[in-house]
Chains A and B, each alone.
Chain A
Amino acid sequence: MNALEAISIDKRYANHVALHDVNITVPEKSIFGLLGPNGAGKTSLIRIINRITGPDNGEIKFFGDALNPEHVNQIGYLPEERGLYKKMKVGEQALYLAQLKGMSKFDAKVKLNEWFERLEIGDWWNKKVEELSKGMAQKIQFVTTVLHEPRLLILDEPFSGFDPINTAIVRKEILRLRDQGSTIVLSTHNMGSVEEICDSIALINKSRVVLDGSVDEVRRRFNENEFLIRYEGSAVSLANSLWTNFELISNSRDEDEGDNEAIIKLRDERTLNDLLNTLTPNVQILEARPHIASMNDIFIQAVEQSKHTS
């Protein structure tokens, strides 16, 4: 079952189009990366899912049902720009936010104590938020977002403001929540964490989805027919041996090992065998494998490409 489906969502504001015919599908119990450059429309989509605003056109389905006001209690949202009441005590504030999500005060207290204990922040309960550091406040915000055990969790840049240790803690908690059955929509610019924890992604640029699918599939598909060849020999002779049907994307030399790494794209239904046949007379091949791009490269390339097409 899909936790979330956005079906041809349109949203326009007075001066610009925020979302145009956006379709995304988030499978249940997975981590979904919602990617895109600043101003692409991610926040608009997230706000529509949270029912903060409504779409001009299109429909959101939440576990198969049309999204309705009852569902907000089953969603947890950590906005990118976030804050807490500065003058309020940590515990009181967490209870308040949990109750606004429909939890009883008692349940909220029990769960909060659990979380505070696990994250070892129990002694913060009576501190005012203004006494906390930014990272501490972020931690509290994370807890208040997940406290009501939402079926769908929307985290916008959850790692920003955390040091590496706390980033690791939060990452661990996100994975734990997924394993316990939550579905997580993660919006981030941190492509490393996308590769590590996302199961599938959608890349939005200029109000449109320009790329989507499972992370593995996207990475494979994106650099289809590109192969990484590690070889011994001169880069010049490698380049000379390539015909027009093979395109040398890049070549780099590892001085320590004394070998080269070339990335070569195959055209016109050429196969790896054809490439190897072409190369073997000229260089010594050490390794050949499909080239899988990093999410970082994919992000940059996808955004560049959509710039040209639009």
Chain B
Amino acid sequence: MSKVGLIIKREYLSRVRKRAFIFMTILGPLLFAGLVAAAVFAVSVDSVEHKILIVDDQGIITRYDERIGQYLPTCPDCFPERDGYVYRFSDKALSDSTFINSDYTLMATVLEGVYDHKKAELYYKKVPSSSASNVIEGDLESALERAKVSKSNLDFDTYRTLKVNIQLSKYDIEKGEENAEGKAAVGLIFAVITFFFLFLFGAYVMRGVIEEKTNRIVEVIISSVKPFQLMIGKIIGVGLVAITQVLIWVVFSIIIFSIAGLLFENGAFSSAEAMAEIAEQQGGTANLDFESFLAQNKLTKILLDINWLQLLSMFVLYFVGGYILYSSLFAAIGSVVDSDTDSQQLMMPIMLPLFFAYIVAIMSVDNPEGTAAQIFSIVPFTSPTVMMVRISVGNVPIWELLLSVVLLITTCFFMVWLAAKIYRTGILMYGKRPTYRELWKWLFYKT
């Protein structure tokens, strides 16, 4: 094994074997899932029981069943049984006073010419939550869809296979804006993950460097390997720890949410709704209003609308690029200080662009096509987060993407070179912390 390989191995194993790592890796997703479950539970406890009257005077989605003397939906599956939602059907709207005195909480009317103007009306006594109106909207939509398909000479299965494509183009044209925001929010999740890991694991690299320096083992090691090998070995080793943690979290999350999904399907919520709640949770941390697009089918549409192959491959690229960029700077800082507490002041020049990248990414969700998002998705220090938002929305011109990636890679090389210059001098310097002027001089020292 090469010497860098040995260093990577040590850095990696010494971290993943730590109890804290194992603890966080296992507990992280569990804690997260617990929070989501608690939120879902809270919502389900709080939610109002809705009794909804669907009025369909055209007989588009209902038929009169003579045996029981009631109107029933032509597509019972479109109005599935859910906790908190009871549907009744009628061909006549209730008068206002009857509605008020009835035990119905909501009344939805399918208007004439619904396929043209695509409108239905919802009457309420108390303002329904957006998730309630979204559920009703979704149910009506699928019932109307089903009715329309059955009148055509398509069978529904064929339609379903076609449906995705049809709706993709439909949403791009008509509701482009709304979807863009939703997709941008998905991108923001990746941006936040990137920010979080750059910050956390960059600091790990820095602490590792400080540990070696204060331990004084560094001099022994650089009598065996070049300082650059030690630095890059540490950066790669810690980076692999980050990737391991992300992977384990992803696998764990999938398992946990699959289990949760099964539980919810048998219980109060469908898994799709649970998903919606999860998205709400994640969005909530970023202070975004997800309400408007959280209906299960809208979320699905958003998720289907994203170019996942591009997003994920770019995520890996920007994640790795951003990590190398920032962690090499963290390594350089670790090398010039004697202890953790000394590092605070020197960390400012790194923390500023990192936090700036985070904030711009959040703001880009509102306007992913804006000039700010455009510029900062190309600037290397902010691109790893901001570009995630833009890519998830799509429509990033190929030249911008290329320029951004090339700039990021070039800057990575430059930063590693710069950090190595500071590092190799810094690790052997004890006592007085160097000034920026001295750091500048170090760049030009001969080895």
Residues of A within 8 A of B (CB): 14, 47, 50-54, 56, 72-73, 75, 77-79, 81-88, 96-97, 99-101, 141, 144-145
Q: Which residues of A contact B221 (CB under 8 A)?
A: 97, 100
Pair A79/B216 contact, Cβ less than 8 Å: yes
Q: Is the CB of B398 closer than 8 A to any CB of chain A?
A: no
Q: By CB atoms of chain B within 10 A, which of A14, A51, A81, A83 has the most?
A: A83
The answer to whether B225 and A100 touch across the interface, beta carbons within 8 angstroms, is yes
Q: Among A53, A96, A101, which residue has its beta carbon within 8 angstroms of that of B447? A: A53
- Residues of chain B from 183 to 236 with CB closer than 8 A to chain A in the complex: 211-212, 215-217, 219-225
Indicate if B3 sits at the interface (CB-CB under 8 A): yes
Q: Scoring B residues 414 to 447 as 1 if CB is less than 8 Å from chain A, else 0, what string do you get?
A: 0000000000000010000000001001000011
Produce 1/0 per residue, B222-253, CB < 8 A to A. 11110000000000000000000000000000
Partner of B215, one of A47, A53, A73, A84: A84
> Quick one: which of B216, B222, B428, B441 contacts A82, CB cutoff 8 A?
B216
Cα of A33 to Cα of B399 in the assembled complex, Å: 64
Give the residue of B6, B219, B223 whose beta carbon is less than 8 angstroms from that of A72.
B223
Which residues of the other chain, A, contact B169 by a CB distance below 8 angstroms? none
Question: Bound complex: CA of A87 vs CA of B10, how far in Å?
Answer: 12
Contact in complex: A88, B224 (CB < 8 Å): no
Of the candidates A54, A77, A83, A88, the one whose C-beta lies within 8 Å of that of B223 is: A77
Given A52-B428, A54-B447: A100 and B216 interface contact (C-beta under 8 Å): no
Q: What are 12 A-B interface contacts by the 8 Å CB criterion?
A: A14-B441, A77-B219, A79-B220, A82-B216, A84-B215, A85-B14, A97-B221, A97-B224, A100-B3, A100-B221, A101-B224, A144-B220
Known contacts A87-B14, A88-B14; is-contact A52 B219 (Cβ 8 Å): yes
Chain B contact patch, size range: 20 to 34
Q: For the complex, would chain B's binding face be called helix, strand, loop or mixed by DSSP majority?
A: helix
Task: Chain B residues near A86: list those with CB within 8 A.
Answer: 215
Complex: chain A residue closest to B227, CB-CB: A52
Bound-state CA distance A72–B438 (Å) is: 29
Taking Cβ atoms with an 8 Å cutoff, the residues of B that contact A are 1, 3, 6-7, 10, 14, 211-212, 215-217, 219-225, 428, 438, 441, 446-447
* Alpha-carbon distance between A270 and B14 when the two chains are bound, in angstroms: 71
Q: Please measure, in the bound complex, the distance between the C-alpha atom of A78 and the C-alpha atom of B219, giving whole angstroms.
A: 9
CB within 8 A of A83: which of B1, B7, B217?
A: B217
Contacts of B1 in A (CB 8 A): 99
Let me know if A52 and B14 touch, CB within 8 A: no
**Also in contact, A79 and B219, with CB within 8 A (given A100-B3, A100-B225):** yes
Chain A residue with the shortest CB-CB distance to B216: A83
Docked CA distance A54–B425 (Å): 12
Report the minimum CB–CB distance from A47 to chain B (whole Å). 8
Return chain A residues, CB-CB under 8 Å to B211. 85
Report the minimum CB–CB distance from A54 to chain B (whole Å).
Answer: 5
Closest approach, in angstroms, between the C-beta of B249 and any C-beta of chain A? 24
Contacts of A97 in B (CB 8 A): 220-221, 224
Given the complex, which residues of A lie within 8 Å of B219, measured CB to CB?
A: 52, 77, 79, 81-82
A88 to B217 CA separation, bound complex (whole angstroms):
12
Contacts of B7 in A (CB 8 A): 100
Separation of A88 and B223 alpha carbons in the complex (Å): 20
A225 → chain B closest CB, angstroms? 44
Extra contacts, 6 of them, besides A78-B220, A79-B216 (Cβ < 8 A), are A72-B224, A77-B220, A79-B223, A86-B215, A87-B14, A97-B224
Compute how far the CA of A72 lies from the CA of B222 in the bound complex, rounded to whole angstroms.
10
Q: How far is the CA of A47 from the CA of B221 in the complex (A)?
A: 12
How far apart are the CA atoms of A158 and B438 in the complex, in Å?
33
Please tell me if the beta carbons of A75 and B223 are within 8 angstroms of each other in the complex. yes
Instruction: Name the residue of chain B whose CB is nearest to the CB of A96.
Output: B10
Give Cα A50–Cα B219 distance, bound, in whole angstroms. 10
A53: chain B residues at CB < 8 Å are 447
Among B1, B220, B225, B446, find the residue whose CB has the most chain A CB atoms closer than 10 A: B220
**B220 contacts A82, C-beta separation under 8 Å:** yes
Q: Shortest distance in angstroms between B251's beta carbon and chain A's nearest beta carbon?
A: 28
How many angstroms from the CA of A68 to the CA of B441 in the assembled complex?
A: 26
Min distance, Cβ A85 to any Cβ of chain B, angstroms:
6
